[in-house]
Amino acid sequence: MNSSTGRKPTPRGLFGRIADHRLDYLYILPAIGVMLLVIAYPIYYTFYLSFFRTPPSLAMSDKVFNGIGNYITILTSESFHEVTINTVVWTVWSTFFATALGLGAALVLNRQFAGRGVLRGLLLIPYVISAVAASYIWRWIYHSDFGVLGAILNRLGIIDGKLNLLDNVNLVLPSLIVVNVWKEFPFAMIMILAGLQTVPDQLLKAARVDGAGAFHRFLHVTLPHLKGVMVITVLLLFVANLNHFTIPWIMTGGGPAGASDIWITQIYQIAFGRIRFGLASAYSVILFAVMVVIGYFYVRALTGNDDVRRRG
């Protein structure tokens, strides 16, 4: 049995300390093992393949070394510019609206009233159902020819004629963002709700005694307490949105005319539609690079939180 719970800092070398703690590693071995298995090789392979040209007429074993040619091809292509703008629009607005709606919902739900649990449960439903099902449901609601949304807007006199969302270059991305926000705001809501319950009552009371209005209390008492959880929520959503594949793929396949194409659908399209695994790998590496930057902030946010937790 090791003695790791009772720490005596022994001034030994790294390997000595590792040896001392060797049994500790057994606890994390399964988790780390399965992670390595599923992640390490694919990362290596993606990097490796990103330096090769793999046209559809060649077998994988005949791939041609291409240096950084794939990266140049991507970065100089016209579509990269367009797809990147779509990706930024998709990720930023999805994250923003999901967080904003989630925050609003959490603030309203963070009081005692009858039916609160039921209400919270109902609001959580979109988060739980599968993205595949959600995509079909919304495709049916949006349907240009038979969709219920078009029918309602027609009846209300807001539009006249067919409602064209998914077949319209200008409206398709906003329409998909709505679906994504629908799916994600409950996650932000539940995270922030959890965060709200940690705001000390005394502080709020004290603020009220001082004559601070509701908005003032929110701004100066509640919000600072929420900062940690908000940062984590935003980062998690940001990463999830950047990687989100199912909704755009099932609903529009990136169309029409590429108007809802984002990085991840492009990567899939290049890899499996156009069978350029080399090019797709280079694209993935670019995506990784962005992820690493976000990951840096993510880890910093988590460690910050960790410190707070330990102090508390």
Identify the three-state secondary structure at position 123. Answer: helix
Residue 49 Cβ vs other proteins, minimum distance, rounded to whole Å = 8
Residue 63 Cβ vs other proteins, minimum distance, rounded to whole Å = 11
Identify the three-state secondary structure at position 52. Answer: strand
What residue type is 268 in one-letter code? Answer: Y
Question: What residue has token string 């409206």?
Answer: 171
Question: What residue has token string 């200008």?
Answer: 170
- Our CB check for other proteins shows the closer of 67 and 273 to be 273
The count of residues in the chain is 312
Structure tokens at 212: 């601070």
Q: What are phi and psi of 14, to 5 degrees?
A: -55, -45
- Our CB check for other proteins shows the closer of 125 and 158 to be 125
* Element housing 9 (H / E): none
- Our CB check for other proteins shows the closer of 84 and 246 to be 246
Residue 289 Cβ vs other proteins, minimum distance, rounded to whole Å = 11
- Our CB check for other proteins shows the closer of 92 and 164 to be 164
- Our CB check for other proteins shows the closer of 92 and 250 to be 250
What is the maximum alpha-carbon separation in the chain? 79
Residue 204 Cβ vs other proteins, minimum distance, rounded to whole Å = 8
Asked if 134 and 247 count as a contact pair (C-beta separation under 8 A), the reply is: yes
The per-residue DSSP string of 55-105 comes to -TTS-GGG-EE-TTHHHHHHHHSHHHHHHHHHHHHHHHHHHHHHHHHHHHH
Question: What residue has token string 């807007």?
Answer: 153
CA–CA dist 147, 162 (Å, integer): 9
- Our CB check for other proteins shows the closer of 111 and 210 to be 111
Identify the three-state secondary structure at position 179. Answer: helix
Q: Sign of the CA dihedral 287, 293, 294, 295?
A: positive
Residue 201 Cβ vs other proteins, minimum distance, rounded to whole Å = 6
Residue 286 Cβ vs other proteins, minimum distance, rounded to whole Å = 11
Residue 196 Cβ vs other proteins, minimum distance, rounded to whole Å = 9
Residue 90 Cβ vs other proteins, minimum distance, rounded to whole Å = 14
- Our CB check for other proteins shows the closer of 84 and 305 to be 305
How does 52-77 read in b/e, with b if 16+ C-beta sit within 10 Å?
bbbeeeeeeeebeebeebbbebbeee
Residue 44 Cβ vs other proteins, minimum distance, rounded to whole Å = 8
- Our CB check for other proteins shows the closer of 88 and 129 to be 129
Identify the three-state secondary structure at position 53. Answer: strand
- Our CB check for other proteins shows the closer of 53 and 92 to be 53
